[in-house]
Each structure stands twice: as structure tokens, then as C-alpha cells.
């Protein structure tokens, strides 16, 4: 954070001497946004004005994310859910390859033949999915027990992604900080900073 701060301050001073006023102001704001969002902006009063300005600007038509050329920063991107555990794939609750169907990838799933850790099955029925019953199981992920559903895909009029396969599925956790920006640090290494835009 400190290295990034010195990089941005020094680069902004050099760029400001050669840039037109409007370009300099846009670059300065973009660098302020990057610096604030790389730290605890909610707890830093000096960061409130540039970030409140950002939040207001995001509601306007034609909004473009302010970037910091000196740090080669990207526009922010949004990822609602946490990554799936290693070996698991993100999927929709009722994954399908039907044309025009796009579903939120709000679960993680793994084929039962690829999951090698112990599984404890239960007898509870959780409803129907593609005319197959769905059961519950306790499985181990990263050293802790997690409740998973057992999803069986069958021949759903020829539209199933994989016919006759069994998967374990778990819900994907939502990120507390769903936005991220990428930028180059003082050593030229690409970094990623996660943040939220919750107003304190």
C-alpha cells in the first residue's frame, strides 16, 4: 500500500506537468480512486470525497470507470461469488445447454467419481430435479464438513449437459468485497485489489 502510494504520487506529479488540465484532473481522480480502493476507504475520511464522487458517477449514463494511467490500472470488475474450491466447477442451479438460457452460476459442483474424500449420506429428500430425487450428504472440503446436495442428471429430452452423471453440489458464498481493480505496483508486477462500495 505504501509503495503504491509513493508510485502514484510521483507519477502524478510528472504527468501533471505535461498534461492538459482536464486530462490531469481525470488522471488525478483515477489515481485517488485506485489508492483509496486499495486500502480501507470507508475508514479513511480523505477518501470519502473521491469515492462518493465515484458512486454518484456510476449512476450516470455513459459512465466510464476512472483509471490511473501511471499505475496502468484497469476499470473495476464485479464478481459476486467466491471462487469454488479446487477441483470444483461453478455452475447454475439447473445447468442446461438450452439455447438462450443463461443462469447465475451460484453453485459449485464436482462429479462424484472425481471426489475421493469420505461422504456421509442422509435419507432426507430435497425435492425433484430433472425427474430424479435429490439427497443430502456431508462431505469434507478443506478440512471441514459441508452439507452438499446430490444432483443426478438424466436424459432431459436430450438437453442435459452430461447424461446419467452424479454430482455433489454446494452453494457458492457471496463475496464481502465483490469488486476488484488490477494495477502495476512499483516493481511492475500486476496486482489485484478487492473492495466494496458500501457507504459507511
Q: What is the pLDDT of residues 84-114, one digit of tens each?
A: 998 999 988 754 445 455 578 899 999 988 8
Q: Judge if 75 and 94 occupy the same domain.
A: no
Q: Judge if 188 and 158 occupy the same domain.
A: no
Q: Judge if 120 and 188 occupy the same domain.
A: no
Please state the pTM of the whole predicted model. 0.67
Q: What is the pLDDT of residues 16-26, one digit of tens each?
A: 333 434 555 66
Q: Judge if 69 and 94 occupy the same domain.
A: no
* Alpha carbon 90 to its chain's center: 12
Which residue pairs from 73-76 have beta carbons closer than 8 angstroms and sit at least 24 positions apart in sequence?
73/30, 73/31, 73/34, 73/181, 73/182, 73/183, 73/184, 74/181, 74/182, 74/183, 75/181, 76/37, 76/179, 76/180, 76/181
The angle formed by the CA atoms of residues 160, 166 and 171, to the nearest 5 degrees, is: 90
Instruction: Tell whether 52 is covered by a domain.
Output: yes
What is the domain count for the chain?
Answer: 2
Burial readout 8-22 (b: 16 or more C-beta within 10 A, e: otherwise): beebbeebeeebeee
Instruction: Tell whether 155 is covered by a domain.
Output: yes
Q: Domain of residue 105: give its range.
A: 89-171
Instruction: Tell whether 70 is covered by a domain.
Output: yes
Residue 176 Cα distances to 76, 80, 82, 108, 194, angstroms = 16, 9, 9, 18, 9
Q: Judge if 108 and 152 occupy the same domain.
A: yes
Instruction: Tell whether 200 is covered by a domain.
Output: no
Q: What is the pLDDT of residues 119-172, one digit of tens each?
A: 877 654 433 333 345 688 888 888 888 889 888 776 444 444 444 588 889 999
Q: What is the pLDDT of residues 20-50, one digit of tens each?
A: 345 556 689 999 999 999 999 999 999 999 9
Q: Judge if 151 and 104 occupy the same domain.
A: yes
Instruction: Tell whether 49 is covered by a domain.
Output: yes
Amino acid at each position: 500500500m505504501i509503495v503504491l502510494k509513493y508510485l502514484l504520487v510521483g507519477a502524478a506529479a510528472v504527468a501533471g506537468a505535461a498534461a492538459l488540465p482536464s486530462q490531469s484532473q481525470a488522471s488525478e481522480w483515477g489515481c485517488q480512486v485506485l489508492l483509496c480502493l486499495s486500502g480501507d476507504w470507508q475508514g479513511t475520511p480523505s477518501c470519502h470525497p473521491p469515492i462518493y464522487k465515484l458512486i454518484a458517477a456510476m449512476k450516470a449514463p455513459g459512465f466510464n470507470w476512472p483509471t490511473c494511467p501511471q499505475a496502468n490500472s484497469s476499470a473495476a470488475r464485479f464478481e459476486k461469488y467466491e471462487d469454488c474450491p479446487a477441483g470444483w466447477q461453478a455452475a447454475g442451479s439447473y445447468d442446461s445447454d438450452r439455447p438462450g438460457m443463461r443462469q447465475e452460476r451460484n453453485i459449485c459442483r464436482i462429479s462424484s467419481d472425481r471426489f475421493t474424500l469420505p461422504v456421509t449420506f442422509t435419507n432426507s429428500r430435497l425435492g425433484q430435479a430433472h425427474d430424479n430425487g435429490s439427497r443430502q450428504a456431508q462431505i469434507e472440503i478443506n478440512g471441514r464438513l459441508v452439507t452438499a446436495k446430490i444432483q443426478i442428471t438424466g436424459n432431459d429430452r436430450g438437453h442435459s449437459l452430461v447424461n446419467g452423471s452424479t454430482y455433489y453440489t454446494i452453494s457458492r458464498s457471496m463475496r464481502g468485497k465483490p469488486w476488484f481493480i488490477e494495477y502495476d505496483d512499483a516493481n511492475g508486477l500486476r496486482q489485484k485489489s478487492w473492495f466494496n462500495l458500501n457507504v459507511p
